[in-house]
Amino acid sequence: MADIVSKRAHYSPPWADVCIIGIAGSSGSGKSTLSHAIVSKLNLPWVVILSMDSFYKSLDAEGSRKAFLNEYDFDSPDAVDFDVLVDRLRDLKAGKRAEIPIYSFAKHAREKETTSIYSPHVLILEGIFALYDERVLELLDMKIFCEADADTCLSRRILRDVSERGRDIEGCIKQWFSFVKPNFEQFVEPQRKVADIIVPRGVENRVAITMVIQYIERKLIEKSKAHRAELRKLGQSSEDD
Ligand code: C5P
Ligand code: MG
């Protein structure tokens, strides 16, 4: 009897086994477009995109003053609250609900409200530092690095930051050359080394997207088989008792 109890204690239900895909790459390289393309091609009900934008740290008054002058370094890993990110990812991996902060790029601050994520089948974590923290890497089932030319990244970023993030062109260019570009070389690009796949040309790269989809589908089938085998084993040990 004690044996069954200990086996049950180790039993993990299928919803506690989220498949987590990390997508890193330069700002403007197409990470979030690639994530949406993967979601729309995956024929599954519970696929969620978690953007690392949600985990920028709150700023003090001096930090905020600098941010509005485009003089704050948001491209250093120090700007990201990895502890909270790891905590939330572990909750989701354990099948629990996670409260996710909402970030405003126009205000350079977290909103008061949060949003809830209920443990999905597949979680796509996208952000410039998605493959940076060892604790996050341990939780990932697949690591993707999204690549694009620097001029493509810069032009995409300017268009987006002006239309969606309340910025002006001069500020975008200043921030790019002060922080985004040098920190890409120092911190973002080295993540290529830990990636399982490097995707050049983002969403245009249909072959890479098909490979990613097939990998996820295979992974889910394996997990479902392992789950059924675990259930059968448990059933047998109850009958033997
Ligand atoms: O979506 P994307 O990967 O471009 O988002 C990351 C970028 O957001 C970083 O390169 C950082 O410079 C920028 N950022 C910003 N203002 C903030 C927080 C982040 O411009 N308040
Ligand atoms: Mg983005």
pLDDT digits (tens, 9 = 90+) for 139-189: 999 999 999 999 999 999 999 999 999 999 999 999 999 999 999 999 999
Beta-strand runs (E) in the chain: 19-25, 47-51, 98-104, 109-117, 122-126, 142-147, 197-200
Q: What distance in angstroms lies between residue 41's CA and the mean position of ligand 2's atoms?
A: 19
Q: What distance in angstroms lies between residue 122's CA and the mean position of ligand 1's atoms?
A: 25
Q: What distance in angstroms lies between residue 33's CA and the mean position of ligand 2's atoms?
A: 8
Contacts of 78 (CB under 8 A, 6+ apart): none
The type of residue at 210 is: T
Reply yes or no on domain 13-220 having CATH 3.40.50.2300.
no
| CA-to-CA dists, residue 1 to 12, 145, 239, angstroms | 19, 48, 11
For ligand 1, atom 2, which residue shows the shortest CA distance? 27
Who wins on pLDDT, 166 or 46? 166
Q: Which atom of ligand 1 is nearest to the CA of 53?
A: 5
Give the three-state DSSP class for 25. Answer: strand
For ligand 1, atom 3, which residue shows the shortest CA distance? 27
Determine the Cα–Cα distance for residues 118 and 85; give it in Å rounded to an integer: 15
Q: Which ligand is nearest to the CA of 103?
A: 1
Give the three-state DSSP class for 73. Answer: coil
pLDDT by residue (tens digit) across 69-103?
Answer: 999 999 999 999 999 999 999 999 988 999 999 99
Query: How high is the ipTM of this complex?
Result: 0.99
Which of 30-34, 186-190, 207-211 tops mean pLDDT?
186-190
Q: What are the residue boundaries of the structural domains of the chain, listed by start?
A: 13-220
Q: Which atom of ligand 1 is nearest to the CA of 128?
A: 3
Q: What distance in angstroms lies between residue 148's CA and the mean position of ligand 1's atoms?
A: 17
For ligand 1, atom 19, which residue shows the shortest CA distance? 74
Nearest to 80 by CA among 50, 104, 59, 111: 59
